[in-house]
Structure 1
Amino acid sequence: MEVKHEGLELLDKNEKNEKSSKTISNSSSGLTVITAVLFITGEMTGSGVLALPKAVKDAGWVGIFLIFLCAAISSFTGTVLGRCWTLLCENVPALQKHCADPYPTIGMNAFGTPGRIIVNISVYFTLYGVCVVLLLIASGNIQTLLYQVGLDMSLCYWVLIIGGVLMPFCWLKSPKDFWPIALGATVTTLVACVLIFVQCILDVDKARNATMANNLAIENGDAKVFSRGFETFFLSFGMILFCFGGMAAFPTIQADMKHPQKFPKTVVFAMASILMMYVPVGAVAYGVYGDLVADNVFNSLTPGILQVVATILITMHLVFAYVIIQNPLSQVVELPLNLPDEFGLKRVLVRSSITCIVVFTAESCPRFGHILALVGGSAVTLNTFVFPSLCFWRLCHIHGKEWKSAVMPKWEIPLHILIITIGIVGGISATYSAVKNISDPEAFVPPCYVNITAASLAVGGGGGGH
């Protein structure tokens, strides 16, 4: 049965050749390939750099393979998602204008209203969860930095302060309006990765002594051996997926490009850049600190100038990335409210309300690792592994005869099946492991408004080694 497009009329064959070049090109103010790469790199990295060493620890050295695997799959499915949007832009004239919810629109055209609803829920949850994690880690980093200079202020207060400071920046219209923020997010992360790498090398002897002392404590029965198994492996899988969890914002970035058809090239360049930051930090940090590496790698580094500067840079990235990530979330929320596509009081109220909800969630669950693993194992898995392949497959099936580019190469079919299978099996397992870990009484962290002291101590600067 054909999927109805609810008012989106297809171009007929005579109009298609004449208008296709227009439908896939935005105004001169749109994003270029370079600026789009900056946005993808800026939104994905940051929290991923801090969490990857712990993720590698949970899986062992196979975690490095998981990083490459997730990067490869994200590159492929990112290009597939880009092909979906290009197909729609070439064949649905109503999409020539700015589209506030491109990913749900892809789901709508592929699977009708159920597709839009499911994709919307997944995108909402992903963007929302990422915003909470970014806010928590940024607040924890600032708490740790200022504690080193004698200012001991609760993380719970920093969540409120940073949320308030970032609120006005979230009123900007769309990514093309704040590309300098994306540049800042990417550059600060790159420099921070170099500093983290150098500090890890400098800590080799100290970390070796700490490992020997821990082994002795294990022999004496004063410490437990860190054991890997089903749960830790899939927790690692969920955390690594979270590090590549920007797929929900991909269509929004592509829709703001001058030439959306160049998005697949953009994704490949961005993933290569991200791997250059992720792999060295993840491998060296785990290689140096081993099973003692903290949830937040900054808590494993020896305090000093390199650690301080790296923390400042990553924190700058996190606040930049927060603005980038909340924007598509805001656009999706605004759409059913029929808000005017311009700056005004209604936009300020809606986007400020979203920031307040994110702040409240962060105050309610101040341990970022819990949210990171849960979102990575559930919604991010669907957005990255399942939806792109399913949507492209469906569009090719229902429009293969009328849309020239709606063709699924035969060699891609087994690859799509494999990716969807990995996504479903791995996602269910990772979500189960995350939920079980959250429900563990020993891992429970009270909300800030219940016990502000216990919440701050448990978080320990953004995650700590708890």
Structure 2
Amino acid sequence: MSNEGIGQESHELLVRNGSISKKGDSQSPPAKASGLTVITAILFITGEMTGSGVLALPKAVRDAGWIGIFLMFMCAAISCFTGSVLGRCWSAIIERRPSLRKDCPNPYPTIGNEAFGKAGSIIVNVSVYFTLYGVCVVLLLIASGNVQNLLSQVNVDISLCYWVMIIGLILAPFCWMKSPKDFWPIALGATATTAVACVLIIIQAVMDIDRARNDTAEYLSNGGEAFHRGFETFFISFGMILFCFGGMAAFPTIQADMKVPERFTNAVVIGMSCILCMYIPVGAIGFGVYGDLVSDNVFDSLTQGPLQIIASILITMHLVFAYVILQNPLSQVLEMPLRLPNKFGIKRVLVRSLITLFVIFTAESCPRFGNILALVGGSAVTLNTFVFPSVFYWKLCKKNGKGWDAMNIPTWEKPIHLLIVTIGIVGGISATYAAVKGIIDPDAFVPPCYFNITAASGGSGGGGH
């Protein structure tokens, strides 16, 4: 999806090759002295959106059937479009509010505030907070489960509940860094580890074809029932896939840290293309090989061996990298009301350490990630990805006065915005309902770690019910 046809020729702002400039001005806005380039922005987009999605997609395809592959393409296309729309919103704002170009720790709520005032800022803050918080919990759980499973292969049996605390506390100091531009090597590591892990997962899955076929035949011959798809499983799948493309909450933070924020659309398009190149093969081959018996965490379906171990280590590295990336905008959102100084200090250390402790406590309270992933994907991620970008952009285009001139929305683009918002609302409500029902299902309930460490740590180490 490109940023063509924004249709502002007759207005103050013109879009030229991904940048916004004032009418009659052939020069792009000046770049920052330092910040993210398009390449490093792509690394952050792919680094913070992949990882847990790779592990959950085979099951998501199982829950929806092969239509799940179409859902992946659809969600990627919509994320690409709405990501570029969100980028237009921020570019328009910093064109009219130049002071925000230098530093803005809460760009997404700022977009909401410019569109709908304080109410818009509050709604975005709540949604972004819930998304980032939920994602951090899921990343911590999966990383801990992977470490537990890896060490169990060498007869080191330490509870998942303990690993959640150990890994969370180890990562705490890395979350004290200021903003994404201060730790771009982490984004490089997150992207590289996931790409290599995907290749290894695919190779091991292909090697498992005969074993998986025999396992399925044995399961059915012993009276096992084929998986039955329905309304709930479809929308749980939809919520999971939304979650996999749910990095929109961090997009404005990445764009705000770019040297030339107006080039963010280029980063979104390339980043989404890279993500699809990882997601589609893993989701399709994972379900195609293991079928209805595929686990919540695809690693639990792979035959244990060198490839599975290396891939698990790489994905675990990605998860901890992504955790650091995503807790940063979460911390910045929460630091704003506290009016903390935008520099390293004891107050930042205390606040961000406290956030880490709350994430650990939540992970200890819900030691299975499947329905949590679907709940976050179906609720807040849907708002951040499907609803807010189009609604805010539409509102900003109609805004006039107080330093703003109304902008034109091309006729061909209006039905796209309406369709995306409709899909987001209907799909989000359905996915949220299905996820909540799954969470409160007595048969699926797993006691919190502080009530029953054995039950919480059993099974796949956080991978499923």
Q: Would the TM-score normalized by the shorter structure come out above 0.5? A: yes
CA contact (8 A) 2:189 2:321 kept: yes
* 2:66 aligned residue: 61
CA displacement, residues 363-419 of structure 1 (integer Å, 9 cap, x when unaligned): 000001121010000000000000000000000011399756832111100000000
Determine the C-alpha separation between the residues in 2 that align with 1:391 and 1:25: 26
Structure 1 position 88 matched with structure 2 position 89: no
- Read off the aligned partner of 1:229 and give its amino acid letter: G
Q: After superposition, where does 1:222-237 map in structure 2 within 5 Å? A: 223-237=224-238
Matches within 5 A, 1:8-407: 17=22, 24-218=29-223, 223-399=224-400, 403=404, 406-407=407-408
Number of matched pairs? 447
SS of 2:411's equivalent in the other structure is coil
What whole-Å deviation, never above 9, does each CA across 1:124-157 have from its counterpart, x for those lacking one? Answer: 0000000000000000000000000000000000
Q: Report if aligned partners of 2:398, 2:406 keep a CA contact under 8 Å in 1.
A: no
Secondary structure of 2:357's counterpart equals helix
Q: Which residue of 1 aligns with 2:7?
A: none
Which residue identity lines up with residue 421 of structure 1 in the other structure?
A: T
Instruction: Please state whether the residue corresponding to 1:411 is helix, strand or coil.
Output: helix
Against the structure 1 CA distance between its residues 167 and 79, is the aligned structure 2 distance closer, same or farther, given a 3 Å change threshold? Answer: same
CA-to-aligned-CA distance 1:152-205 (integer Å, 9 cap, x gap): 000000000000100000000000000000000000000000000000000000
Question: CA offsets per residue over residues 231-253 of structure 1, 9 Å max, x none?
Answer: 00000000000000100000000
1:463 matched to which residue of 2? Answer: 463
What 5-or-longer segments of structure 1 have no aligned partner?
Answer: 1-11
Q: Is the 8 A contact 2:32 2:102 kept in 1?
A: no
One-letter amino acid matched to 2:229: R
- The answer for unaligned runs of 5 or more in structure 2 is 1-11, 14-20
SS at match of 2:258: coil
- The 1:308–1:153 alpha-carbon spacing in structure 2 relative to 1, beyond 3 Å, is same
Q: In 2 relative to 1, CA 122–37 (structure 1 residues): closer, same or farther, beyond 3 Å?
A: same
Is 1:185–1:318's contact at 8 Å kept on the other side of the alignment?
Answer: yes
For residues 30 and 94 of structure 2, what CA distance do their matches in structure 1 show?
9
* Distance change (3 Å), C-alpha of 1:342 and 1:401: closer
Structure 1 contact 141–461 (Cα < 8 Å) conserved:
yes
Tell me the equivalent position of 2:9: none
Question: Structure 1: which amino acid aligns with 2:234?
Answer: F
Q: 1:100 to 1:402 in 2, by over 3 A?
A: closer
Structure 2-normalised TM-score? Answer: 0.93
CA distance in 2, matches of 1:17, 1:436: 51
1:204-247 deviation per Cα after TM superposition (whole angstroms, max 9, x unaligned): 000011111122123xxxx2331100000000000000000100
Q: C-alpha distance in 2, partners of 1:370/1:406?
A: 41
Shift of 1:37: 0.2
Poorly superposed stretches of 4+, deviation over 2 Å:
16-28, 399-407
Q: What secondary structure, in the 3-state scheme, does the structure 2 residue paired with 1:399 have?
A: coil
Q: Quote the Cα distance in structure 2 between the aligned partners of 1:344 and 1:398.
A: 39
Tell me if the contact between 2:107 and 2:252 (Cα under 8 Å) persists in the aligned partners.
yes
Answer whether contact 1:24 1:96 (CA < 8 A) is retained.
no
* 2:222 aligned counterpart, secondary structure: helix
**Contact 1:200–1:284 at 8 Å: present in 2 too?**
yes
Cα deviation for residue 93 of structure 1 reads 2.8
| Secondary structure in 2 matching 1:173 | coil
Deviations for 1:29-76, whole angstroms, at most 9, x for unmatched residues?
A: 200000000000000000000000000000000000000000000000
Alignment match, 2:6 = none
Q: Distance in 1 between matches of 2:24 and 2:248?
A: 29
Structure 1 pair 342–283 and aligned structure 2 pair: CA distance change class (3 A): same
Instruction: Give the whole-Å Cα distance in 1 for the aligned partners of 2:413 and 2:428.
Output: 22
Q: Is the 8 A contact 1:400 1:406 kept in 2?
A: no
- Aligned equivalents of 2:45 and 2:25: distance in 1? 26
Distance 1:299 1:262, change over 3 A: same
Tell me the amino acid that sits aligned with residue 191 of structure 2. Answer: T
CA distance in structure 2 between the aligned counterparts of 1:50 and 1:451, rounded to whole angstroms = 26
Question: In structure 1, what is the equivalent of residue 446 of structure 2?
Answer: 445
Q: Which amino acid aligns with 1:385?
A: F
Aligned pair in 2 of structure 1 residues 109, 22: CA closer, same or farther (>3 Å)?
farther
Structure 1 length-normalised TM: 0.93
Identity, % of aligned positions: 71
Deviation (angstroms), 1:21 = 9.4
Q: 1:349 to 1:400 in 2, by over 3 A?
A: same
Q: Is the 8 A contact 1:87 1:406 kept in 2?
A: no
RMSD value, Cα:
1.9
- Tell me which amino acid in the other structure corresponds to 2:78: I
The farther-off stretch of 162-171 and 405-414 is 405-414
Q: Say if 2:144 and 2:164, in contact at 8 Å, map to a contact too.
A: yes
